[in-house]
Amino acid sequence: MSQIPQFLVDNLPTASATTSRPHVTLTWAQSLDSKIAGPGGQRVILSGPESMLMTHWMRSVHDAILIGVNTLILDNPRLQANLLPSSLNLPPPQPLILDPKLRFPITSRILNEWNTKPDQRGKTIRQPWIICGNDVPTERVREVEAEGARVVLVKLDARGHIPPSSLPTILESLGLRSVMIEGGSRVLSTFLHSLKRDDGSRLVDSVVVTVAPMFIGEGIGGEDVGLPALKTIHTEKMGKDAVMICEVE
């Protein structure tokens, strides 16, 4: 797959999207029993090679890739689009972490690689940006910034979360026109339950789900209720997996 799959081009924002409001995509890979990770949040590789490559194409068409701080701690991900041919010179995605209390581990791979590959700065790796509460002690903010991350302070909601409804405004203030929210379970759930932006318009534009033909059994996910209805826009078979693109109704 040396080119972006056509069904992504047809249904997701392009890198040069000129939408007036940031496009918000929620995406995850799940098992047939609706789990996204194993017991205790243990990372499970659900996607096969084709759908994993598709995930990297998706990363490349969004300005930012967002995860919750637990996913950062549990998975220690790279959040790059490094499965794509480097000859394409695609701009690297901007990693964004929702981390209200600034628990960000300074040993994390996304920070380490940013710090240890200065020759690649601005080319294949971007500085991690952490969105945290404006009540985090200044000393802690300075400590994390001194390690090389950018910290963005925002007002938290009553649950102590980054309010999903305000994410588009935060993205706009950072000059980001689209975001791919990869997880984990809690972040996906709060976004699926918070359907409106601050201005009252729809919050989530696209939902892209990879369904892998396996059971996890005990694990993370699958227990949620009260979720929105989805309209399936496209279903694609990718190797062993099925990938669905849906719209929130």
Ligand X SMILES: Nc1nc(O)c(N)c(N[C@@H]2O[C@H](COP(=O)(O)O)[C@@H](O)[C@H]2O)n1
Residues that bind ligand X (CB under 6 A): 29, 43-47, 52, 55, 67, 71, 75, 77-80, 182-183, 210
* 187 lies in the site for ligand NDP, by CB under 6 A: yes
Closer residue to ligand NDP, CB minimum distance, 87 or 188: 188
Q: Work out what residue 78 binds among ligand X, ligand NDP, none; the CB cut-off runs from 5 to 8 Å by kind.
A: ligand X
Closest CA to 100 of 179, 156, 167: 156
* 48 lies in the site for ligand NDP, by CB under 6 A: no
3-class secondary structure per residue, 184-223: CHHHHHHHHHCCECCCCCECCCEEEEEECCCCCCCCECCC
Rounded to the nearest 10°, the torsion over CA 50, 55, 59, 61 is 70
Q: Which of 8, 12, 24, 29 binds ligand NDP (CB under 6 A)?
A: 29
Q: Which of 11, 23, 28, 94 binds ligand NDP (CB under 6 A)?
A: 28
Closer residue to ligand NDP, CB minimum distance, 29 or 171: 29
- Rounded least distance, CB 67 to ligand NDP, Å: 6
Q: Work out what residue 231 binds among ligand X, ligand NDP, none; the CB cut-off runs from 5 to 8 Å by kind.
A: none
Closer residue to ligand X, CB minimum distance, 68 or 136: 68
Closest CA to 245 of 66, 16, 57, 7: 7
**246 contacts 217 by C-beta, under 8 angstroms:** no
244: β partners: 209, 235
